[in-house]
Amino acid sequence: MKRKKVTIDGNDAAAYVAHKVNEVIAIYPITPSSPMGELSDAWSAAGQKNIWGTVPMVIEMQSEGGAAGTVHGALQTGSLTTTFTASQGLLLMIPNMYKIAGELTPTVFHVTARSLSAQALSIFGDHSDVMAVRQTGFAMLCSNNVQEVMDFALISQKATLESGIPIIHFFDGFRTSHEVMKIEQLNVEDIREMIDDKFVKLHRSRALNPNNPFIRGTAQNPDVYFQGRETVNKYYNEFPAVMKNAMDKFFEITGRQYDLFEYYGSPEADRIIIMMGSGCGTVEETIDELSKNPDEKIGLLKVRLYRPFALNDFVKNIPHTVKYISVLDRTKEPGSIGEPLYLDVIAALNESMNNKNNPFEKMPYVTGGRYGLSSKEFTPAMIKAVFDEMKKDDPKNHFTVGINDDVTFTSLDFDKNFKTESDKQFGAMFFGLGSDGTVGANKNSIKIIGEETDNFAQGYFVYDSKKSGSTTVSHLRFGKEQIKSAYLIESPDFIGCHLFSLMEKFDMLKDIKPGGTFLLNTVYNKDEIFDKLPAKIGQQIIDKKLNFYIIDAFKVAGDTGMGLRINTIMQTCFFAISGVLPKDEAIQHIKNSIKKTYLSKGDEIINKNFEAVDKTLENLFKVDITDKKPGEIQIKDTVSSKAPDYVRNVLGKIIEGMGDDIKVSEMPVDGTFPTGTAQWEKRNIAHQIPVWDESICIQCGKCAMICPHACIRIKSYDEKYLKDAPPTFKHMPAKGKEFGVDKVYTIQVAPEDCTGCTLCFEICPVKNKTQVRLKALNMEPQLPLKEQESKNWEHFLSIPEFDRTVVNTGLVKSSQLFQPLFEFSGACTGCGETPYVKLVSQLYGDRAVIANATGCSSIYGGNLPTTPWTKNSDGRGPAWSNSLFEDNAEFGLGMRISADKHNEYAGELLLRLRENIGDNLVNEILNADQSDEPGIYEQRKRVEELNNKLKVMNTPDAEELLSIADYLVKRSVWIIGGDGWAYDIGFGGLDHVIASGKNVNILVLDTEVYSNTGGQMSKATGLGAVAKFATSGKLTPKKDLAMMAINYGSVYVAKVAMGANDTHTLRAFLEAESYDGPSLIIAYSHCIAHGINMEKAIDHQKNAVKSGYWPLFRYDPRLIDENKNPFRLDSGEPVIKLEEYAYAQARYKMLTKSDPLQAKKLMKLAQEDVKKRFDIYKRLAESKPNSEPETKSNSESKESNSITN
Amino acid sequence: MDLSTIYMGMKLKNPLVASASPLSKTLDSAKNCEDAGLSAIVCHSLFEEQLTHDAGELDHYLTTNAESYAEALTYFPEITEFNLGPSEYLEHINRLKNSLEIPVIGSLNGVSNGGWINYAKQIEQAGADAIELNIFYIPTDFEKDSTVVEDMYVEIVTAIKTVVKIPVAVKLSPYFSAMANMAKKIDNAGADALVLFNRFYQPDIDLETLDVFPNIELSNQWELRLPLRWIAVLHGNIKASLAATSGIHTHTDVLKVMMVGGDVAMVCSELLKNGIHRATEILDDLKIWMEDKEYESIEQMQGSMDYRSVSQPAAFERANYMKVLNSYKI
């Protein structure tokens, strides 16, 4: 039977089968498994049917725990059900997994195996998660590449139905889930033939059914639980045969034979590796290379079915000649004798010896090793090191490979120069910006090569840890031989550099093959290019005799209306010069693909792309390198020489892309890192930066307040600090008493940290009277200003910060004198969340402890190499931690309880030591008013005095108090996270925490979708908005989290939108923190996932408020005691229609284009909902406290409601 | 009394037609227009530029941040079917056509030759009785001379006339150096009617915010003067029908248009401001006036005061300055 060749990734392959063989799919987004759920949802939305002719129902749940519960329920009522997950998500499913397995329920969970959060979170691949569920009773089947993912997804479905044992079908996160590979796609007929409906009926016959009632899920007691647990044994004993049968049947249909264990290599091997996962392909490739030496007798045993562990099959597949076995685990189990697979192998061999089922003359010498944690590269060089180690008399056990462990010396040395990449394969690498479409074009190229030629093809893509100005590196392999290499290209034939400045970041030509091809996008022409190249690059081109091509892709893009999207242009260049296909044929394929991609988006876009393709070749030039000499330009250090040693030597290496070289000793043992490191990574990603026009500035501070990256700073200072100022340093007299008397005022930009988002320019309220397009801040090209403004910035930093104790915190203009202690994060350009986070750091950062839910804010807040949380000149600053996604409110509550306990205990110790310390100081400390900055300042002085006394007391109580005296200064506990956390996965905890009455401040950065994982619907998503899992628009209104919290009556609640009213935001933050109880601030956070022009984000925020969609309000329980209405509605009646707000955003507008009738219907409902809710708020605001007649104080409070912006 | 008139070959029961405006946006409102006595309805415009912009904009925002960050390779669900064409508009035309007895005229506002032709054909297929082209071009390009601009208009009309069988009206702006000659060129290109004149969004300035904002106000009665002049000049010199739009508020305005040679008078602002029932009142007043003055038909008065028929044709030619000079007599 002829089957289609497709070029897809592992997630696509798994979802393809899963969608065809299930009726219900319940999921929750988590990297790297999210695309499986998204694809399933999209297919169901498009009406694609399963093999029984019905469209699977896809539901997004509030957590993986919820997804597992739903899966369990659907299974128990007879539906064929699946889910997709990874990492912590899989861990949240564990309780249900025991139930599902315990009840012998057939299902397959498709898992993209990923690291677990331990000393740090990692989104990348290893087996830590799947190994943590090996005890649940689920069978475990591992696929090693994209083809196997598709095949095993089907094999496992057959096996689970026929055995009743649920299966974890897993494959390596990113390496397999995101690798694009040419594979043979199973036909619907193949799938149909594999699935025997008899077992589907059997599954349904076991369903809960009131027409045939029974109960399942009883409670059992000591008398029978044990026996009950043993009943399943025979099913597990029989399972390997069932699985084998499924594999054999699959072979009959497709010709691809799989086995429970598969051996590769010499039948007379003396040394073998046992492992599972994507690394197996690389081991096979290495064996092939090493076996060219006939003395090398080596092999690999691939474990396919890990649970149940089929002992006989295992032993049967190992050559009798084997003397040494190295078991490689892609996980870490601290404190164990060895990692799980290693222990299983030892036990299996031991048992086989005992059973006399022994093929070996002598028990093989078994060692265990760890490799590839968190997608650490696993290369032929490392594999050779493992084989070589086995040759030694005393091979290292419990080793690691791929790192340099200079602490416990577990690591094996390996020769980086050992490479096995075949000359018959072509390797191409492309360095680009995330925003220029490089990856998309390369995925497209590999698809063309895979599907339009007889080449095997593979694409793998490496992304940045920063969201703004992110870079991407694409790795494309193709050739006539099957591609087994599951590692990054080591010796490319072709390098494409899509942005000139990336040559400063990456040593990209280091490993290119001599005579290879280098394609550079540059504004320079072929005569001048050599002088403009960094000298090192020029030298490499000459030394390696590269074929050097240049194109000004931005010019071609500009001329053809493509803007900054150079993807099609660079793709055309690649095909034009790589020779992979005849040029004309390749161009036709590109055009076909453009047509296919943009078919639904109109001829205009297609034509623009066509024109770009045609114009490309006219602008592509080969540079003659004969007699060329490298220029004189030197690449600058990426990290300032002024940075601390740790930043320069360790974090700097990560910045330079040399993180793999960092030794174990250089890493912190417990995940603790210094703060204040982002300042040393000068990313220079802005094309334009704001330039201050002091002649018209009104010193309102709005620019600094809205700046997402803390790159616009304000200082008011004594004139004396101008003495050594650079000549271009700008200043003006400070206006207003808030800035002190006779002070000088400066607004300064950090030129190398600014992302060029323009929000400061957009929010600036002043217009130049002679040219109204100009404001008090104007965007100008960064490059010519970089040097000058860097010096100004340095001088600005040398000026002391304004005295915190005299800042008028209630005004935006003066609040911005507080130093941001959150700066230069990697958040998206123009991020809507970070201004709020930064505000917390300014107002309370020097005494804040922050619990941060996993999500965007934990990534831009804590992803290496450098992190934005920093400290002031006193060494104080926010202490920040990310625990998990689901537990953040509880995590923060723990911090509060801890602070309260220590404060209480410190108070007790103070009283115990009263005589030694002195009544006055003790009384002052215990009775201190710490409600404002001066109060905090005074308390700090008292505690300092206390500490000085305690240090010389030398008593146990004094020492005890000394260790916790800091807690006598009021701590500000902040719990920060996105709507995915607050509305969905963490809501139960959040609810409990606000009900606790404890003094925590909860900041919900509400982007109305799961932004970090790519825009999945949350319960915060608005009615009618399109999001993943709401392809046809969200059908239900946004959950009113604020009203739920208000319902307690004891929670301070505010809904804010800084872009709409910054004074209101500031007021809410101040009130929330001052409230001695739980506070909840829900902050409108515009986001790239809204599909908006981020430069106009402030307008969106304003319209959100003007339309009544996002009413601004505050609920302050303290007002009840004052017999005032605690609810204050701070924004007016809607003055624009909801659609004016909504249809300026692609998330709403796209529905008008995909389903206009649905869009109309939902917009009508959404508008009604806005009105209904606004009326409720209005009534609430107008209601009289305690139903008493309106008093004078009531009317006063009404007046004070108005906060003008 | 015969109020009927012929417009682009279509016999209309009276000369009062709803111009391209929100009046046609809903079926109810269009039906009200018919019930109020209007003899035809020109649909609100299909903006080709808007459709192209929507497509580009959507593509931009749905893909801009894609493939940049490992956890979020896309931010929106994959939707393969986007309805970026004019189908909603076409369905609306179709609905109007099926529900109304009066002729329905589609209106097309475009920017590119390809778009004009494509959409004109689709409007015809949707059942429209005629098409009104609203050629809307602000010639701000300093390098483009008037011939180029004029040729562009002619090319559009010629192209569309070759692809549709239904009549084609062309709605023009008055900003041509040689208006009469331009009208002739468009007439020669095959236009079945000239609609004089379209009203632009014009920039205004908000002195508080110092923003420029484009805006359109409802018309005033005095605005009729400009179409009156040009209909008077053109009538009898071109083959195409003539329609006046802008400034039609009362029956007297309709009468004036007819007398200078117009075939229809298009009304919008008056109905938006004072209700669709005003159409009935205007027509009633028209009849009363005609009875009073003993006119038997509209046809009778059509062109009775055009350039050729008045005693002082120079009045249509002179600009204000000339009048002042002439009135300065000792």
- Is A114 designated active site? yes
A688 lies within 8 A of chain B by CB: no
Q: Hey, are the CB atoms on B55 and A1028 less than 8 Å from each other? A: no
Q: Can you name the residues that pair with A1009 across neighbouring β-strands? A: A1017
Select which of A7, A31, A438, A758 is catalytic. A31
- Sort out which chain A residues have CB atoms less than 8 A from B72's CB and list them: 1011-1015, 1089
What pLDDT, on a 0 to 100 scale, did the predictor assign at position A716?
97
Q: Is the pLDDT of residue A110 over 60?
A: yes
Burial of residue A152, with CB atoms counted within 10 A of its CB: 0-12 exposed, 13-18 middle, 19 or more buried: buried
- Sort out which chain A residues have CB atoms less than 8 A from B65's CB and list them: 434-435, 828, 1088
- Sort out which chain A residues have CB atoms less than 8 A from B56's CB and list them: 602, 604-605
CA distance A721 to chain B (A): 37
Q: Which of A600, A1012, A1030 sits opposite B72 (nearest CB)?
A: A1012
What pLDDT, on a 0 to 100 scale, did the predictor assign at position B140?
87
Nearest to A27 by CA among A15, A9, A13, A12: A15
Which positions in chain B have a beta carbon within 8 angstroms of at least one beta carbon in chain A?
51-52, 54-85, 88, 114, 210
- Tokens representing residue A1127 in the block: 């609810």
Reported as type and span, the H/E element at residue A885 is: none
Q: Hey, are the CB atoms on A467 and B68 less than 8 Å from each other? A: yes
What is the DSSP secondary-structure string of A900-967?
Answer: HHHHHHHHHHHHHTHHHH-HHHHHHHHT---SSHHHHHHHHHHHHHHHHHHHTT--HHHHHHHHHGGG
Gap between the Cα atoms of A813 and A701, Å rounded:
4
What pLDDT, on a 0 to 100 scale, did the predictor assign at position B63?
85
Q: Is the pLDDT of residue B210 over 70?
A: yes
Q: Which of B56, B69, B75 sits opposite A604 (nearest CB)?
A: B56
A1013 lies within 8 A of chain B by CB: yes
Q: Hey, are the CB atoms on A42 and B58 less than 8 Å from each other? A: no
* Segment of A335-339, A630-634, B137-141 carrying the highest mean pLDDT: A335-339
What pLDDT, on a 0 to 100 scale, did the predictor assign at position B328?
46
What pLDDT, on a 0 to 100 scale, did the predictor assign at position A641?
85
Gap between the Cα atoms of A943 and A927, Å rounded:
13
Lowest mean pLDDT among A607-621, A694-708, A1072-1086: A607-621
What pLDDT, on a 0 to 100 scale, did the predictor assign at position A1197?
41
- For CA atoms A921, A926, A932, A936, the dihedral sign is positive
- Sort out which chain A residues have CB atoms less than 8 A from B60's CB and list them: 563
Lowest mean pLDDT among A9-13, A365-369, A630-634, A1185-1189: A1185-1189
A630 lies within 8 A of chain B by CB: no
Q: Is the pLDDT of residue B183 over 50?
A: yes
- Sort out which chain A residues have CB atoms less than 8 A from B26's CB and list them: none
Q: Hey, are the CB atoms on B72 and A1013 less than 8 Å from each other? A: yes
Q: Model confidence over B83-121: pLDDT tens digits?
A: 777 888 899 999 999 999 999 999 998 766 667 788 899
Lowest mean pLDDT among A648-657, B1-10, B189-198: A648-657
Gap between the Cα atoms of B42 and B49, Å rounded:
19
Q: Chain-wide mean pLDDT for chain A? A: 95
What pLDDT, on a 0 to 100 scale, did the predictor assign at position B323?
46
Q: Model confidence over A168-186: pLDDT tens digits?
A: 999 999 999 999 999 999 9
Q: Chain A residue with minimal CA distance to B57? A: A1146
Q: Which A residues 579-608 touch B at CB under 8 Å?
A: 598, 600-605
Q: Is the pLDDT of residue B326 over 50?
A: no
Q: Chain A residue with minimal CA distance to B210? A: A772
- Is A64 designated active site? yes
Q: Model confidence over A1152-1184: pLDDT tens digits?
A: 988 989 999 999 999 999 999 999 999 999 987
Q: Model confidence over A747-780: pLDDT tens digits?
A: 999 999 999 999 999 999 999 999 999 999 999 9
- Tokens representing residue A683 in the block: 């990313």
What pLDDT, on a 0 to 100 scale, did the predictor assign at position A279?
98
What pLDDT, on a 0 to 100 scale, did the predictor assign at position A954?
93
A575 lies within 8 A of chain B by CB: no
CA distance A216 to chain B (A): 39
What pLDDT, on a 0 to 100 scale, did the predictor assign at position B112?
65
Interface probe for B, chosen from A1088, A1094, A1145, A1163 (most Cβ of B below 10 Å), is A1088
Select which of A64, A162, A738, A752 is catalytic. A64
Q: Model confidence over B253-300: pLDDT tens digits?
A: 999 999 999 999 999 999 999 999 999 999 999 999 999 999 999 999
Q: Hey, are the CB atoms on B210 and A600 less than 8 Å from each other? A: no
| Residue A333, CA distances (Å) to A117, A304, A343, A369, A1104 in order | 13, 21, 11, 11, 50
What pLDDT, on a 0 to 100 scale, did the predictor assign at position A845?
97
Q: Which of B64, B83, B210 sits opposite A1154 (nearest CB)?
A: B83
Interface probe for A, chosen from B75, B111, B119 (most Cβ of A below 10 Å), is B75
- Tokens representing residue A453 in the block: 């030629």
* Residues sharing a CB contact under 8 Å with residue A592, sequence separation 6 or more, in sequence order: none
Count each helix (H run) and each strand (E run) in chain B, helices first.
Answer: 13, 12
Q: Hey, are the CB atoms on B71 and A440 less than 8 Å from each other? A: no
Q: Which phi and psi (to 5°) does residue A411 adopt?
A: -80, 150
Q: Hey, are the CB atoms on A1013 and B61 less than 8 Å from each other? A: no
Amino acid residing at A977: G
Q: Hey, are the CB atoms on B62 and A463 less than 8 Å from each other? A: no
Q: Is the pLDDT of residue B321 over 90?
A: no
The 10 Å Cβ neighbour count of residue A230 is: 8
Q: What mean pLDDT is predicted for residues A836-853?
A: 98
- Sort out which chain A residues have CB atoms less than 8 A from B208's CB and list them: none
**Res. A1194 pLDDT band, cuts 50 70 90:** very low
Task: State which fold the B5-327 domain adopts.
Answer: TIM Barrel (3.20.20)
Q: Is the pLDDT of residue A518 over 90?
A: yes
What pLDDT, on a 0 to 100 scale, did the predictor assign at position A1044?
98
What is the DSSP secondary-structure string of B127-166?
Answer: T-SEEEEE-------TT--HHHHHHHHHHHHHHHHHH--S
CA distance A178 to chain B (A): 9
Select which of A60, A112, A114, A778 is catalytic. A114
- Sort out which chain B residues have CB atoms less than 8 A from A1012's CB and list them: 71-72
Q: Model confidence over A987-1014: pLDDT tens digits?
A: 999 999 999 999 999 999 999 999 999 9
pTM of the model: 0.93
Reported as type and span, the H/E element at residue A151 is: helix A146-163
Q: What mean pLDDT is predicted for residues A324-332?
A: 98
Q: Which of A470, A605, A1091 sits opposite B76 (nearest CB)?
A: A1091
Provide the percentage of residues in chain A whose pLDDT is more than 90: 89
Q: Which of A438, A601, A1029 sits opposite B55 (nearest CB)?
A: A601
What is the ipTM score, two decimals? 0.93
CA distance A971 to chain B (A): 34
DSSP 8-state assignment for residue A1013: T
Q: Is the pLDDT of residue B213 over 90?
A: no
Alpha helices in A392-506 (DSSP H): 438-452, 502-505
Q: Which A residues 552-571 touch B at CB under 8 Å?
A: 563
**Res. A1046 pLDDT band, cuts 50 70 90:** very high
Comparison of pLDDT for A1189 and A1112, the residue scoring more: A1112
What pLDDT, on a 0 to 100 scale, did the predictor assign at position A937?
96
Q: Which of B69, B70, B84 sits opposite A602 (nearest CB)?
A: B84
Q: What mean pLDDT is predicted for residues B150-164?
A: 93
Q: Can you name the residues that pair with A990 across neighbouring β-strands? A: none
Q: Which of A38, A467, A603 sits opposite B77 (nearest CB)?
A: A38
Lowest mean pLDDT among A197-206, A427-436, A1166-1175: A427-436
What pLDDT, on a 0 to 100 scale, did the predictor assign at position A1190?
44
What pLDDT, on a 0 to 100 scale, did the predictor assign at position A1203?
66
Q: Is the pLDDT of residue A1127 over 60?
A: yes
Gap between the Cα atoms of A712 and A614, Å rounded:
43
Q: Chain B residue with minimal CA distance to A772? A: B210
Provide the percentage of residues in chain B whose pLDDT is more than 70: 95
Q: What mean pLDDT is predicted for residues B23-36?
A: 95
Count each helix (H run) and each strand (E run) in chain A, helices first.
Answer: 45, 38
Select which of A442, A1012, A1063, A1103 is catalytic. A1012
Q: Chain A residue with minimal CA distance to B205? A: A772
Q: Model confidence over A808-832: pLDDT tens digits?
A: 999 999 999 999 999 999 999 999 9
Q: Is the pLDDT of residue A325 over 80?
A: yes
CA distance B50 to chain A (A): 12
What pLDDT, on a 0 to 100 scale, did the predictor assign at position A280?
98
Q: Is the pLDDT of residue A848 over 60?
A: yes
Lowest mean pLDDT among A145-154, A702-711, B108-117: B108-117
Q: What mean pLDDT is predicted for residues A921-949?
A: 97
Q: Model confidence over A1081-1093: pLDDT tens digits?
A: 999 999 999 999 9
- Sort out which chain A residues have CB atoms less than 8 A from B70's CB and list them: 31-32, 123, 174, 178, 463
Q: Which of B51, B70, B78 sits opposite A123 (nearest CB)?
A: B70
Q: Chain B residue with minimal CA distance to A466? A: B69
Q: Chain-wide mean pLDDT for chain B? A: 89
* Residues sharing a CB contact under 8 Å with residue A769, sequence separation 6 or more, in sequence order: A696
